[in-house]
Amino acid sequence: MREQGARVTEGQKGAAAMIGACVVWGLSPLYYKLLSHVPALEVLSHRTLWSVVFFTVLLAVQGRLSHLRPLVWGRAGLVTAFAALMMSLNWFFFIFSVQNGHTVEASLGFYIFPLVAVAVGVLAFGERLRRVQFFAIGLATVAVITLALGLGVTPWIAIVLAVTLAGYGAAKRFGTAGPVVSVAAEVVMVLPFGLMWLALTHAGHAPQSTGAFGHDTRTSVLLVLSGLMTATPLILFSYATQRVSMTTVGLIQYLNPTLQFFCAVLVFSEPFTFWHKIAFGLIWAALLVYSAEAAWRERSTRRAARMTMPVPPAAL
């Protein structure tokens, strides 16, 4: 009984950590909106720089700096480079969407990401598509087409965010490092480009350059905090995945786009049209079906494992 109670407590801690990570991610539009006066590429460069600083200090304290080297050389380096590219594109378009009034579309991208990831698994890794997954992906596709036809424009930000996240997830399948070390290696690989852009920006040679850092305290502090904003949810996520099932992680992660959606509609007053309502309704229905089937499948697997568990010799 005591072991069971401890197990429940660890699960509750993991769920709380996952909720915390998703709250930070979901409310991050409020943070990036405060930096709307700084071009998205400049914000991205600072996010990369200060993430490197934060992760370097963290890994140094943990004595794990040496873990970075194997991830940036050879075949592992190619995987890290691809993951870094997908991560940077995702970060850029998310910041751009928030700054330019497209947070609703960004939240749509994070909603459809799990379904795009399933499609990538089928196309890139030869995974078999179950009927429920096929149905859910079909609903999501209809939702995107409906929104495109209804508004007369393709929701390209949502598509780019979902595809880059799926590409990032695909790259992670080839790695064995934990999320903190792997993301640290990724931002280290992107850092030279970020520093180059910041140098051009502060020299006045970059388009729409502001060289915002150092001009006023508020903006400078916000830019420095981007490293903490990046690292904190990743640490919480890493803690959570060690204590709760991936189905639980998958269900809780929908809190992220939901909070983004509320920020967009309730705080930023972005338009939520009739076509948005239809598209989001279809997406939510698809995710409900997909998540319910995943939860049922995990429960069935656990039940089967318990039924086939061998009897300990001491019990014979």
Enumerate the domain spans of the chain: 6-204+216-302
Quick: pLDDT tens for 191-201. Answer: 999 999 998 88
The whole-model pTM stands at 0.85
Q: Say if CB 233 and CB 25 are below 8 A apart.
A: yes
Structure confidence at residue 131 as a pLDDT band (50, 70, 90): confident
Quick: pLDDT tens for 86-111. Answer: 999 999 999 999 999 999 999 999 99
Structure confidence at residue 316 as a pLDDT band (50, 70, 90): very low
Q: Say if CB 79 and CB 171 are below 8 A apart.
A: yes
> Tokens 């639980």, residue?
248
CA pair distance 211, 291, nearest whole angstrom: 45
Structure tokens at 217: 């305290």
Q: Say if CB 103 and CB 153 are below 8 A apart.
A: no
Q: How far is CA 285 from the centre of its chain?
A: 21
Quick: pLDDT tens for 24-63. Answer: 999 999 999 999 989 999 999 999 999 999 999 999 999 9
CA pair distance 259, 249, nearest whole angstrom: 16
Considering only residues 237 and 5, tell me which one the structure prediction assigns the higher pLDDT.
237
CA pair distance 227, 43, nearest whole angstrom: 11
**Plot region of 130 (φ>0 → left; ψ -120 to 50 → alpha; else → beta):** beta
